[in-house]
Amino acid sequence: MHTNGLKPVIGFAGYSGSGKTTLLEGVIPLLKQSGLRVGLLKHSHHNIEPDSPKKDSYRLRYAGSDQLLLATSSRHMLFFEYHDNNDREPELKECLTQLDLNKLDIVLVEGFRDTSLTKIEVHRPSHEKPLLCEHDDDIIAIATDSAYPLPVSNDIPQIDINSHEAVAGFIKHWLNTATDQARYLGYGKKDANHGE
């Protein structure tokens, strides 16, 4: 498969409160320590407003700009405004194109639970939610705090959610052994089992 500069993408999927953000917060520094350049894409169901009404960037966005790049010496923030549809749900493939993939080695995705994307499920039995992997063939591992093996119908590896080193190690192993299909599934690269 010719990847045209695409970078491997792996998601973290779980119900609200399962610990996805906390897990990623511990895993990202470990991936960085091993020399990987890490991008993160987080899906939110909430409206976000990272700007203050008194700031120039806020005023210019609300004046009608469709995109605004706020550039400083320490970071850039790119705002996309979608004036045409307030109920617009982000598409993973579109969001991935907005990242500068030339400066990344891997993209981690939090959310997009129902999107076709290679994923690690984040599951806590104490939350009494069903396992996603029973209905999602794109889940390749479960990060869990279960003291016992979870009752899954396939041989999905189970990783201690509290061992960030184990989860980071799994991701690094996946990077070295995964098929191109698994690495680039988030871009819409699907096989016959997933449809087109």
Q: Domain 1-43+90-196 - what CATH class?
A: alpha beta
CA separation for the pair 145, 122 (Å, rounded): 9
Amino acid at 184: Y
Task: Work out whether the CA dihedral 17, 138, 91, 86 comes out positive or negative.
Answer: negative
| The pLDDT of residue 189 | 57
- 34-85 tens-digit pLDDT: 999 999 998 765 566 667 778 887 777 777 777 777 788 888 878 777 667 6
- 131-177 tens-digit pLDDT: 999 999 999 999 999 988 888 877 899 999 999 999 999 999 999 99
Q: Parse the chain into domains and list their residue ranges.
A: 1-43+90-196, 45-89
Asked if pLDDT for residue 182 goes beyond 60, the answer is yes
* Predicted TM-score (pTM) of this structure: 0.85
CA separation for the pair 105, 99 (Å, rounded): 12
E-assigned strands of 62-184? Answer: 67-71, 76-80, 106-110, 119-123, 139-144, 158-160
- What phi and psi values does residue 44 have, to the nearest 5 degrees? -130, 145
